[in-house]
Amino acid sequence: MDRIRLEDVRKTFTLKAGQTVSLGGVPTNRIPVLSGVDLTIRKGEFVTLAGPSGSGKSVLLDIIGGLTEASSGTAYVGATPVTRPDPSTAYVFQQYALFPWRTAQQNIEFALEVRGVPKAERRERARRYLALFGLRGFEDRYPAQLSGGMQQRVAIARALSTDPEVLLMDEPFAALDAQTRDILQGELLRIWDEIKTTIVFVTHSIDEAVYLADRVVVMTARPGTVKEIIEIDLPRPRDLEIRNTAAFARLRGRVWEVLRDEVTKAQRDWQIAAH
């Protein structure tokens, strides 16, 4: 069954009057960011989006999440065209986006409260999801009293505690050190294996894209569209050792081969824009 369907999704931003950027050496106030994205994501699938900087990956997530409106084309979650944020879609951003004045437990409970979950269930669910991410005993800590990795665990636990049909993750591990990032990737896979929610995950890391995904969607340079979709046929459950296998190296090489030209194009785009 399909969970997300994008049909010819396009997005052009128009800058405020008087503001211009240089595109291809020509000044303009219109920035085409997405040009005709077609993509279908199955229920329970883990898809990673890779693409050069500025290829519209975050904008595409925002369109799926109802935070940004497409200029044309349609994004569907289930059978419904997305027109606004929906409580059944959860987001995790690079920055942990926790309320600093609430404890870990209260951060999760608040997300459940706005969804109308009764108080006793809120408490139980928040504890359960914190425990799932190894945070038993940290329920009463405030974000400032937690490490970056722990804060991001709370943010993911919060998102998953709402039992979302779709989880959108925008470079959620990019701000973490390499070891914490490895650990969190493993934890996310372990939990996703249990709950099998549909995940769309944006990353700049090819290793991360391959390690996590059922399919890696490679975007072209701006204006972004789907350049190629690479099936990741590595067995699950996966552990970090899989990155040392020949099969992993082959897939990593394949993604880079598709991505390389687009990264070069994107760099040229900036160089022109800078002049």
Ligand X SMILES: Nc1ncnc2c1ncn2[C@@H]1O[C@H](COP(=O)(O)OP(=O)(O)OP(=O)(O)O)[C@@H](O)[C@H]1O
Contact residues for ligand X, defined by CB under 6 A? 13, 31, 33, 51, 53-59, 204, 222
Smallest separation, CB 227 to ligand X (Å): 13
Alpha-carbon gap, residue 116 to 201, rounded angstroms: 27
Torsion of CA 249, 255, 257, 262, to 10 degrees: -150
Name residue 9's amino acid: V
Smallest separation, CB 274 to ligand X (Å): 13
Nearer to ligand X, 151 or 220 (CB): 220
Alpha-carbon gap, residue 16 to 152, rounded angstroms: 35
Nearer to ligand X, 31 or 234 (CB): 31
Nearer to ligand X, 112 or 176 (CB): 176
Instruction: Report residue 222 as tokens.
Output: 């701006």
Instruction: Report residue 168 as tokens.
Output: 């959108």
Smallest separation, CB 17 to ligand X (Å): 14
Smallest separation, CB 244 to ligand X (Å): 27
H-helix or E-strand containing 198?
Answer: strand 198-202
Smallest separation, CB 44 to ligand X (Å): 25
Smallest separation, CB 116 to ligand X (Å): 31
Q: Are 10 and 71 in contact, with CB atoms under 8 Å apart?
A: yes
Nearer to ligand X, 53 or 145 (CB): 53
Alpha-carbon gap, residue 237 to 46, rounded angstroms: 13
Nearer to ligand X, 43 or 265 (CB): 265
Q: At what angle do helices 148-161 and 119-132 cross, to 10 degrees?
A: 130
Nearer to ligand X, 51 or 143 (CB): 51
Alpha-carbon gap, residue 129 to 70, rounded angstroms: 34
